[in-house]
A and B are shown apart, each in its own frame.
Chain A
């Protein structure tokens, strides 16, 4: 039995916001795969919960007239993996979320819960950073939009008011159209494991072999997911070559400041950052249509 004192099922986002605003103790629960574990560990005694998993608009995945992809916060990972819009426009996101837990977890866990729990290891986060995702958040005062890069406040902490609900994750067309992306989760096991390091690269190629744009993000390289702007700058505009790839890996490792945990030492994570960013760049470049000379 979970120590839950109260549970209210919201039927709309407005109702969820109202329920949260009316009760300062109330917390959101979507898939519950993080929340229920917390409750089980005694971290949230006599929990009062507002459920949002049955609000239809929160599960919607759609492409708006201007090309913006809008992913409902309560879309489950398996729903995202199976969605034709996602596989067509941002297959890298499907690849990333398919690495979460195991199949049974992915059918229940949501992308919104993954972002809002504030974990640096969240498998969707680095890819959403590399896609320049914008979060649509609804609260008592209305709707606000915030870039995902400004959302994380520290380990397990995000800039989200008690009565706010993440409603959708928005990807503007200019941040994904014409891009190729690649995510690598380095973990000790092939399934059912949390990332030792997560690395996501998104890149755009012009003229067959020039890196018009590159975006790199890591999970577990810092207390929050991070973008590596210096590494990006070091290769942007350059013609793709082994030297450019090497420089990218060096710059990436120089820019992050990972810590030692029981999973891996700081040194090992720095080594991983260098190698994974190189590999992810090569793969993303190929997916973006880049030509490998001499191949």
Chain B
């Protein structure tokens, strides 16, 4: 399989990498950079477990080629807590009990982080719509939406 050279920033760190043209961004993050916080659920864009931020926008990394990350800024869950301190969004998830098995959590946290940073003022229904690209098998969603509401409500 052919390879291509890309340069990108991952969690603030500039990287220069040789990726296979058939490699997904998700595989690049997990297998090459060992950033396994981003989860592989369905692999077909249905579950949102693989959500990362690409230039500040939440996307599914399983359906995104690593070569497309050239020149881009990527953020994963590993970059969210700084010096051992959880981000505001992560705190909200803990406080609201929005985590059970935790498999879906990194994806949700990244989407909510993007909403917070964009200054989203969504009401509860709007938030549900913004998070509709994520599946959770455990929580029943109520606490997740509570956490999202809390995170966007706190300046």
Min distance, Cβ A191 to any Cβ of chain B, angstroms:
3
A31-49 to B contact mask, C-beta < 8 Å, 1/0: 0110011011000000001
> What is the CA–CA distance of A101 and B42 in the complex, to the nearest angstrom?
15
> What is the CA–CA distance of A280 and B27 in the complex, to the nearest angstrom?
44
Min distance, Cβ B126 to any Cβ of chain A, angstroms:
11
Stretch at the interface among B33-41, B44-52, B144-152: B44-52
- Whether B58 and A107, one on each chain, are in contact in the complex, defined by CB atoms closer than 8 angstroms, is yes
Min distance, Cβ B69 to any Cβ of chain A, angstroms:
12
- Whether B65 and A105, one on each chain, are in contact in the complex, defined by CB atoms closer than 8 angstroms, is no
Min distance, Cβ B63 to any Cβ of chain A, angstroms:
5
- Whether A37 and B45, one on each chain, are in contact in the complex, defined by CB atoms closer than 8 angstroms, is yes
Stretch at the interface among B16-24, B79-87, B88-96: B16-24
Residue B130 interfacial (CB < 8 Å) = yes
- Whether A103 and B133, one on each chain, are in contact in the complex, defined by CB atoms closer than 8 angstroms, is yes
Residue A88 interfacial (CB < 8 Å) = no
> What is the CA–CA distance of A103 and B111 in the complex, to the nearest angstrom?
9
Residue B1 interfacial (CB < 8 Å) = yes
Closest to A102 in B: B133
Contact of A2 among B2, B22, B58, B134 (CB under 8 A): B22
- Whether B48 and A102, one on each chain, are in contact in the complex, defined by CB atoms closer than 8 angstroms, is yes
Residue A261 interfacial (CB < 8 Å) = no
- Whether A107 and B48, one on each chain, are in contact in the complex, defined by CB atoms closer than 8 angstroms, is no
Min distance, Cβ A86 to any Cβ of chain B, angstroms:
18
Closest to B31 in A: A1
CB-CB under 8 A from B45, the residues of chain A are 33, 37, 101, 104-105
- Whether B67 and A104, one on each chain, are in contact in the complex, defined by CB atoms closer than 8 angstroms, is no
Residue A53 interfacial (CB < 8 Å) = yes
Query: Which residues of A176-196 are within 8 A (CB) of B?
Result: 190-192
Residue B132 interfacial (CB < 8 Å) = yes
Residue A10 interfacial (CB < 8 Å) = no
A1-36 to B contact mask, C-beta < 8 Å, 1/0: 111111101000000000000000000000011001
Min distance, Cβ B68 to any Cβ of chain A, angstroms:
7
Contact of A7 among B43, B65, B131 (CB under 8 A): B65
Query: Which residues of B105-155 are within 8 A (CB) of A?
Result: 111, 129-134
- Whether B65 and A32, one on each chain, are in contact in the complex, defined by CB atoms closer than 8 angstroms, is yes
Residue A51 interfacial (CB < 8 Å) = yes
Residue A247 interfacial (CB < 8 Å) = no
Residue A256 interfacial (CB < 8 Å) = no
Residue A172 interfacial (CB < 8 Å) = no
- Whether A33 and B63, one on each chain, are in contact in the complex, defined by CB atoms closer than 8 angstroms, is yes
- Whether A191 and B129, one on each chain, are in contact in the complex, defined by CB atoms closer than 8 angstroms, is yes
CB-CB under 8 A from B43, the residues of chain A are 40
Contact of B44 among A9, A40, A104, A108 (CB under 8 A): A40
- Whether B65 and A104, one on each chain, are in contact in the complex, defined by CB atoms closer than 8 angstroms, is no
* With known contacts A5-B2, A7-B67, A190-B132, A104–B21 Cβ distance under 8 A: no
CB-CB under 8 A from A108, the residues of chain B are 59-60, 63-64
> What is the CA–CA distance of A192 and B132 in the complex, to the nearest angstrom?
7
Min distance, Cβ A59 to any Cβ of chain B, angstroms:
14
> What is the CA–CA distance of A78 and B54 in the complex, to the nearest angstrom?
14
Contact of A32 among B57, B64, B130 (CB under 8 A): B64
CB-CB under 8 A from B48, the residues of chain A are 102, 104
Closest 5 CB pairs of A and B: A102-B133, A191-B132, A4-B22, A7-B21, A2-B22
- Residues of chain A whose beta carbon lies under 8 Å from any beta carbon of chain B: 1-7, 9, 32-33, 36-37, 39-40, 49, 51, 53, 78, 101-105, 107-108, 190-192
Can you name 10 extra interface pairs (CB under 8 A) apart from A103-B58, A103-B130, A107-B59?
A1-B27, A2-B23, A7-B22, A33-B45, A36-B24, A49-B21, A51-B67, A102-B48, A104-B111, A191-B132
Q: List 19 A-B contacts (CB under 8 A).
A: A2-B23, A2-B24, A5-B21, A6-B21, A7-B2, A7-B4, A7-B67, A33-B63, A36-B63, A36-B65, A40-B43, A51-B65, A53-B68, A78-B57, A102-B134, A191-B132, A191-B133, A192-B46, A192-B132
